[in-house]
Structure 1
């Protein structure tokens, strides 16, 4: 019955009613530029574009009016006048990451789950999910926020042995954070594991912060609460961020209160919070003594992604990287950089072909045959 409805008339009437362009006329104009084809508009591309720019519209509201928050690296650069990555936004329909679309996946062979790490060490454990960041805040107000640092103050290294690990070192003015993100098997559960070493020349805190965004933009966090014996945070009632020790303090905030980063000095303890806007933030505080070091291990089971995607891991999923690369072709060359590029490419191919072959770990999770034919 629905096919007999006058869809063209309804769409055109709605467009005129709201004062926007007639999409049917514009599609007809677009078709005039193309050769005759069986497929006029690739539906999967239209669908992906809608999702992409829907995120961009949320970014417009959430980021543009809250530039005092701590944002991911691409926002700190792309929204900063005077930076080479600055993009004027006055006439932009949506605000999307156009300048720093570089992130690195960690994972295991035969497991099609790809946690990613951005150029400043921001870890996004779930596909298109929220993230975990690490800061240092001292008692005299000094702060080490990796996403705001210059290129010379951050180093990032991809380690291939014994498995894929991304090491990020951020250092400035006597404050230093070294984090190493990888994926391991905890029994039968894929788990993101982050080892963090922090040092400071002043008394302060290492902060493990839960952030409602990823390298593409906003990703909603509706609720956060303390889990178990107090050594973890449960995000959206689904996934737990587990610490190797209970934090000395917890701070949480919802959107109307602003970023939790602005309220770290408060002595008020919070054990749970909800946010109607989906912008809840949390910070777990671990003390650092002047001249000392603090080690923290963070574990995030990826059970939620396995359930959402209904993944059944094969028995070979427990195989280490050393076994996975045995059947591959070997290259031995004197130039270490070329050797590294080849070895990294082999692991990338194995990682991204665990299930369906995909061209990337995050945005490009689809593969189109016509792309391969171009």
Structure 2
């Protein structure tokens, strides 16, 4: 009898026999072939839905229902929407001449897998964001319908999703999105952002139509309610317009409030087609004039508010609208945005948001690097990271992934701390004990056994960054319960030669390694978390607790080494696959967590060096990591994990990876979870991926300065052109394990002068300085020090203030 059969037990085998008998009766009754049954059994087994291989996270059901219901509706609805104005992504996937074309064929699911890009707009500390797609489509909350803006001249309608040459950018590098398109000689600029009105945050959009010519033009601006979003078709079964309140209501939710009274309102149902078709063809049959509500069982309702404009030469007209940031909310828009002053209110709100974001961004860590690509990446992602802070949570996305994972937070929260917002990090971390089960399991999703190690790592990292002992004392009981859960959860009932013995059970883990399995990622995070708990226990004087946590960590490390030895015997080489039964594939990206961020191994260790080399050789395309499992596409955040490992070795390929990624950024500097290698657009996950946001911050921060044990390394990697005469490289107010650090480098023709802090809250043992040239001589605070031949780095004491290095250019 196999181990799995023993684990299932007698009751499980009886249950299996009953299920098999029921399946046989059904298949005979409906004539279903045995091949179909075998396929379904294999599918269920792969997903772990048979209950034999761990838990599938039940918490995803709501997310899956939202997503897949839309994916199921989309191909069937789209085929009936010939001549409709579609969202940009679906228009491209439906166009045979487009490289984004996706034939429906036998597939009963369709979603955005070619241009899955959007930009979040919102407020730091507020839990909801809206998104703007690359053509200006506004979706006010996840999986909601959307609002589009068009320009009409005569029977011609210009829609951004159908228009070439659309431009999009961030205003001032903050979450304010400006989309510009040309329409029959006119220009339309759509600006979308979030601002509190009367204390209630709402999405605000202004659409400005300008006539740059000399002759007057009669045109219309159209604000249209659309039954789709950047993910899929989204049913609108009930759509109505209240003229007195100037409000569209969709599916019972207040959806769009118009800042001005429109010239006309149009509603349409599936039978009468898209309102865009009616605007383009005045002879087309439509609902009777004055119709203010539509009940549409198929869900393809559309609406339009039409604002007629007479534009003299050089004249501009601005129309505004607002949307709530969640369903089932009813802001008093008529008081917040009265018609007589709506334009001025929106303009003032925009000015206030520019000022508020500028003030927020000015706090904490800043860098000055003479390279626009690197500078922009840091500045914009700093703003986006602050956007992702929701008050008591931080999420790895603004839409699809607008929920909390301990895993993503283990990267996001340290990034918040590194840019100087430990207060925000603390607000989130104080909620962690509330998310812990009575048995000690930190549960954001069931079956994800990595979460305990990640929660413990993140909690103690906060202490390392701040030195806040009262916080550590408050969290300590929760930390010890977490360690206890790990002790009870390890698989110790397996045979001694089983490579899974002593490790955590099978589970879905990080979701991008494959089907349910025993994943080394879970164990690496767990070991690091235990060692951090042991550190915390020693800091607080609990020696027996430290011994307890260290012993479990040591036992698990020995179990890992035994498992890796079995892998070596099976594969015939020293490498680290993602699970005991696998070979190197893209899922092996998980084991490099042992280098970054966990510091359990170095890039030079044989097994890890071999693994890194094989991942790059097998899984890199266009100098970025291509993931072929689940999250299929070029992955920005996982590419930067490899770059972090290379950074530790001063391997300049880390910069190649970073620069390749930046060449794929959207015009608003956002990244999806996975990039489609053919279209360059998003292929998977949240179109504004929060984990990617924080990894750009983490990578650039570590380039500028990073902790290496008890040492501080400055400019671990840099580019020769940064050291051009007259350039200044600067870091201000960077939070580290040693306290807040600021430094600058003044570059001259044959020298560079490092201006260092000279004192620290918690001094490092030494400071490592790095330059991209050989150092010929060095003076530390006026005293000459020895330099090794051909050295490009040197160590100076922590009290050094001025270091002048002569360079061999």
Structure 2 CA distance, aligned partners of 1:63 and 1:97? Answer: 12
Q: Residue 224 and residue 346 in structure 1: after superposition, are their counterparts in 2 closer, same or farther (change >3 A)?
A: same
State the alpha-carbon separation in 1 of the partners of residues 28 and 178 from structure 2: 54
Structure-2 residue corresponding to 1:117: 132
- The 5 Å alignment of 1:21-40 reads 21-22=36-37, 25-27=41-43, 30=46, 39=54
Q: Distance in 2 between matches of 1:240 and 1:40?
A: 38
Q: Is the contact made by 2:254 and 2:329 (CA closer than 8 Å) also made in structure 1?
A: no
Matches within 5 A, 1:73-112: 73-112=88-127
Contact 2:152 2:220 in 1 (8 A): yes
193, 212, 227: which one pairs with 2:242? 227
TM-score normalised by the chain length of structure 2: 0.41
Cα distance in 2, alignment partners of residues 238 and 120 from structure 1: 24
The CA deviation at 1:128 is 1.1
Given the alignment, which residue of 355, 358, 362 partners 2:395? Answer: 358
Aligned residues of 2:175 and 2:384 also touching (Cα < 8 A): no
Give the conservation status (yes or no) of the 8 Å contact 1:189–1:303.
no
Taking the aligned partners of 2:209 and 2:24, their CA distance within structure 1 comes to 59
Q: Give the unaligned 5+ runs of structure 2.
A: 1-13, 331-352, 408-508, 512-520, 522-589, 591-809
Match of 2:518 in 1: none
Once residues 319 and 73 of structure 2 are traced to their aligned partners in structure 1, the CA distance between those partners, rounded to angstroms, is 33
* Superimposed CA distance per residue, residues 122-169 of structure 1 (whole angstroms, 9 cap, x where no aligned partner): 000122101000001112x2221100112xx110001246x5200000
Cα–Cα, structure 1 residues 42 and 171, in superposed 2: closer, same or farther, change >3 Å?
same
Task: Give the number of equivalent residue pairs.
Answer: 355
Alpha-carbon deviation of 1:293?
2.9
Q: Deviations over 1:172-227 (max 9, x none)?
A: 43132110000001123110000110135632210000001100111122222222
Q: Is the alpha carbon distance of 1:11 and 1:156 closer, same or farther for their aligned partners in structure 2, counting shifts above 3 Å?
A: farther
Match of 1:300 among 323, 330, 350: 323
Tell me if structure 2 keeps the 8 A contact 1:127–1:305: no
2:266 aligns with one of 216, 240, 251: 251
What is the CA–CA distance in structure 2 between the aligned matches of 1:97 and 1:285, rounded to whole Å?
29
CA–CA distance in 2 between the matches of 1:14 and 1:323?
Answer: 66
* Residue 244 of structure 1: how far off its partner (Å): 1.8
Within-5 A mapping of 1:18-167:
19=32, 21-22=36-37, 25-27=41-43, 30=46, 39=54, 41-43=56-58, 48-49=63-64, 51-139=66-154, 141-150=155-164, 153-160=165-172, 163-167=174-178
Other-structure match for 2:374: 338
Higher helix share: 2
**Partners of 2:172 and 2:122 in 1: CA distance:** 11
Partner of 1:278: 299
User: Which residue of 308, 327, 336 corresponds with 1:287?
Assistant: 308
SS of corresponding position for 2:370: coil
237-246 or 99-108, larger mean C-alpha shift: 237-246
Distance 1:143 1:333, change over 3 A: same
Residue deviations 1:265-307 (CA, integer Å, cap 9, x gap):
3793322222122221110000122544321011113363669
Q: Provide the C-alpha distance between the structure 2 equivalents of 1:7 and 1:229, rounded to a whole number of angstroms.
A: 59
1:268 matched to 2:289: yes
Report the Cα distance in structure 1 between the residues aligned to 2:294 and 2:225, rounded to whole angstroms: 13
Q: Which has the higher contact order (CA 8 A, sep 6+)?
A: 1
**Structure 2 residue aligned with 1:175:** 186
Tell me what 1:311 maps to.
none
Partners of 2:329 and 2:386 in 1: how far apart? 19
Q: Cα 1:368–1:287, aligned 2, differ >3 Å: closer, same or farther?
A: same
- Give the match for residue 312 of structure 1: none
Alpha-carbon separation, structure 1, partners of 2:319 and 2:24? 58
CA contact 1:254–1:281 (8 Å) conserved in 2? yes
* Unaligned residue ranges in structure 1 (runs of 5+): 308-317
Q: CA deviation at 1:11?
A: 5.5
Q: Deviations over 1:67-95 (max 9, x none)?
A: 21111000111110011111222132311
Q: 1:329 to 1:68 in 2, by over 3 A?
A: same
Partner Cα separation in structure 1 for residue 317 and residue 23 of structure 2? 60
Asked whether the equivalents of residues 130 and 325 of structure 2 are also in contact (C-alpha less than 8 Å), the reply is no
Distance verdict in 2 for CA 1:39–1:273, change over 3 Å: same
Q: CA deviation at 1:66?
A: 1.4
Partner in structure 1 of residue 384 of structure 2: 348
Which has a greater percent of strand?
1
1:213: which partner in 2? 228
C-alpha contact 1:182 1:194 (8 A) present in aligned 2: yes
* Comparing 254-263 and 271-280, the one that deviates more: 271-280
How far 1:320 sits from its partner (Å)? 3.5
Q: For residue 186 of structure 1, what is the aligned residue in structure 2?
A: 197
Moved beyond 6 Å, runs of 4+: none
* Partner SS for 2:241: strand
Distance 1:14 1:94, change over 3 A: farther
TM superposition shift of 1:13: 4.7
Of the structure 1 ranges 230-239 and 97-106, higher mean CA displacement relative to structure 2 is found in 230-239
Q: Is the contact between residue 239 and residue 302 of structure 1 (CA under 8 Å) also seen in structure 2?
A: no
Change (3 A) 1:337 1:8: same
